[in-house]
Chain A
Amino acid sequence: MVNRIGQRLTAVVKDRTVTRAEAESIVQDAKAERKWTPALQGQLSTFVMKHGAKMEPQAKAVLEDFLAAARPRADLRDPLALKEHRTDVSWTPVGPDAALFVDGISADDVMQGYIGDCYLAAGLASLAAADPNLIKNAITDNGDGTYTVRFFEGVGEGGRPKQVKVTVDDDVARKNGEALYLSGRDAKEQWPGIIEKAYAKWKGGYERVGNGGSASDLFMSLSGRAADWGELKDYKPDALWKKIKSTTDRHRPVAAGTFADNDPRANYTGTGVHGDHFYSVLGASEENGVKYVTLRNPWGMDEPSGNGADDGVFKLPMADFMKLYENIEFGG
Chain B
Amino acid sequence: MAFDLQAAVEAAAPGAVVNVPAGAYPANVFIDKPVSLIAMGKVVFDGTRAGTVLRIRTGGLVKLAGLMIVGGRTGLAGAGVALEAGQLEMLACTLRFNEAPAFGGGGLCVRGNATAKVSQCRFEGNTGRQGGGVLVDEGGTLVMRDSLLAQNAAFEGAGLCVREGGRAELLGCTLADNKVLGEAPRGGAVALGGTMTRAPTVKLSHCIVAERARGASTLSNFDAYPGTLVLENNLLPEWCQAFGGDNTYAEPHFVGEGNEPYFLTRASPAAGAARGDAYGPNARDVLGRPRSTGGRAADLGAFALA
How close is B247's CB to chain A, nearest CB, in angstroms? 27
Most chain-A Cβ atoms within 10 A of its Cβ — which of B129, B183, B198? B183
A207 contact from B73, B184, B198, Cβ within 8 A: B184
Known: A157-B113, A211-B155, A327-B76. A83 touches B197 (CB 8 A): no
Contact A260 B138 (CB under 8 A): no
Q: Residue-by-residue, is B18-42 near A (CB-CB < 8 Å gives 1, otherwise 0)?
A: 0000000000101000000000000
- Chain B residues 74-97 with CB under 8 Å of chain A are 74-77, 85
Known: A157-B139, A213-B103. A229 touches B76 (CB 8 A): yes
Q: Does A286 make an interface contact (CB < 8 A)?
A: no
Contact A234 B28 (CB under 8 A): yes
Q: Does B11 make an interface contact (CB < 8 A)?
A: no
Contact A201 B196 (CB under 8 A): yes
Q: Does A283 make an interface contact (CB < 8 A)?
A: no
Chain A contacts for B74, CB-based, 8 A: 231, 326-327
A233 to B53, CA, bound (A): 13
A84 to B183, CA, bound (A): 8
Known: A204-B194, A212-B103. A233 touches B129 (CB 8 A): no
Contact A260 B75 (CB under 8 A): yes
How close is B108's CB to chain A, nearest CB, in angstroms? 17
Nearest residue (CB) in B for A325 is: B75
Nearest residue (CB) in B for A265 is: B50
Known: A158-B113, A212-B102, A265-B50. A202 touches B195 (CB 8 A): yes
A: number of interface residues (CB 8 Å): 40
Contact A202 B28 (CB under 8 A): no
A83 to B155, CA, bound (A): 13
Most chain-B Cβ atoms within 10 A of its Cβ — which of A82, A201, A212, A230? A212
Q: Does B178 make an interface contact (CB < 8 A)?
A: no
Contact A327 B184 (CB under 8 A): no
Contact A231 B103 (CB under 8 A): no
Nearest residue (CB) in B for A151 is: B197
Q: Does A316 make an interface contact (CB < 8 A)?
A: no
- Chain A residues 20-78 with CB under 8 Å of chain B are none
B49 contact from A159, A203, A265, Cβ within 8 A: A265
Chain B contacts for A231, CB-based, 8 A: 28, 51-52, 74-76
A259 to B196, CA, bound (A): 32
Chain A contacts for B28, CB-based, 8 A: 231, 233-234
19 contacts between A and B (CB under 8 A): A83-B183, A156-B138, A164-B196, A164-B197, A204-B195, A204-B222, A211-B129, A214-B76, A214-B77, A229-B76, A230-B76, A231-B28, A231-B75, A233-B51, A234-B30, A234-B51, A326-B74, A327-B74, A327-B75
Q: Does B1 make an interface contact (CB < 8 A)?
A: no
Q: Residue-by-residue, is B128-142 near A (CB-CB < 8 Å gives 1, otherwise 0)?
A: 010000000011000
Q: Does A93 make an interface contact (CB < 8 A)?
A: no
Chain B contacts for A211, CB-based, 8 A: 129, 155, 182-184
Q: Does A253 make an interface contact (CB < 8 A)?
A: no
How close is A127's CB to chain B, nearest CB, in angstroms? 19
Contact A80 B73 (CB under 8 A): no
- Chain A residues 201-235 with CB under 8 Å of chain B are 201-205, 207-208, 211-214, 217, 229-231, 233-234
